[in-house]
Amino acid sequence: MEKTKIYGHRGSMGDFPENTLLSFQQAIEQGVEGLELDVHMTKDLEIVVIHDEMLDRTTDGTGYVKDLSLDDIKGFSAGVKFSHFRNYEESLWRLESVPTLKEVLELIWPYDIELNIELKTNIIPYEGIEEKVLSLVKKYGNDRKVIYSSFHLPTLIRIKRIDSSANIAWLLDQQITLAQDYIHSLELEGLHLSKDIVLMDNCNLKEISKNIRVWTVNDSKEINQLLDFGVNAIMTNFPEKALLIRNERK
């Protein structure tokens, strides 16, 4: 039986500043099989890795990503807002900036890991973001497995239209019936489901367990339940913990 993969959610965001090169490097060193990250597009059409539409929560900057240039965004720290973390080192973390997707792809180039790129297009429709993301992955992805996910189905359909071989996964935080039908009719590589959906409805999802990646799972008991269920991957803020739990199981 194929083992369930562990993905670092925004890197190792339970202990390091989310969606930064530092966080991704830590997750890789901890032994993850995959990384999950989020992308938006700047005013000058650069693809940056950040979760929110705005800078305010995760950086010392302010404003919408879409209204700022890459140079503007690079002027802010993506680390200082996390000074309450136990590993905080001001001199090091202050230097962390919002990375571009290209920078992340260059960081992970030598490593044999999968990558889940979530396109955050369900609030702001970044025109042309699909082409730009696919182009960057083609150039810098080193032929790794990349899964493109989104809550916004039209984004996934556009990706498939541009590249019929692309792996697309629909992000869901609510139950759907006849999930298998969605996978076949929309040519989905997988479904990325919130943990509550899977833990609540695993009987109806058993036949597609290998198509399911689950977010965001930090509790030891829930990690074990999902390992028992045999999902494709678990996305967690604490990859080191999840890897330890999985690797200690007989």
DSSP class of residue 166 equals -
Q: Residue 186: which domain range?
A: 5-51+99-248
pLDDT at 204 over 90: no
Integer Cα distance of 17 and 2 in angstroms:
31
pLDDT tens, residue by residue, 141-179: 999 999 999 999 999 999 999 999 999 999 999 999 999
Query: Which range among 70-74, 200-204, 208-212 shows the weakest confidence by mean pLDDT?
Result: 200-204
pLDDT at 216 over 90: yes
217: CATH: 3.20.20.190
Helix (H) or strand (E) holding 244: helix 239-248
Whether 57 is covered by a domain: the verdict is no
Cβ(237)–Cβ(9) below 8 Å: yes
DSSP 88-145: --HHHHTT--PPBHHHHHHHHTTS--EEEEEE--SSS--TTHHHHHHHHHHHHSTT--
Integer Cα distance of 213 and 195 in angstroms:
9
* Positions marked catalytic: 9, 51
User: What's the whole-number mean pLDDT along residues 28-47?
Assistant: 98
Whether 22 is covered by a domain: the verdict is yes
> Which residue matches tokens 């991704």?
24
Whether 206 is covered by a domain: the verdict is yes
The β-bridge relationship of strands 146-150 and 167-172 is: parallel
Whether 89 is covered by a domain: the verdict is no
Q: What is the pLDDT of residue 97?
A: 98
Q: What is the pLDDT of residue 250?
A: 66
Residue 16 C-alpha from the chain's centroid: 15
Other Cβ atoms closer than 10 A to 238: 24
Integer Cα distance of 146 and 144 in angstroms:
6
Whether 64 is covered by a domain: the verdict is no
Nearest alpha carbon to residue 186 among 172, 197, 198: 172
The β-bridge relationship of strands 146-150 and 114-119 is: parallel
Whether 87 is covered by a domain: the verdict is no
Number of domains in the chain: 1
Whether 84 is covered by a domain: the verdict is no
Whether 79 is covered by a domain: the verdict is no
pLDDT tens, residue by residue, 77-111: 999 999 999 999 999 999 999 999 999 999 999 99
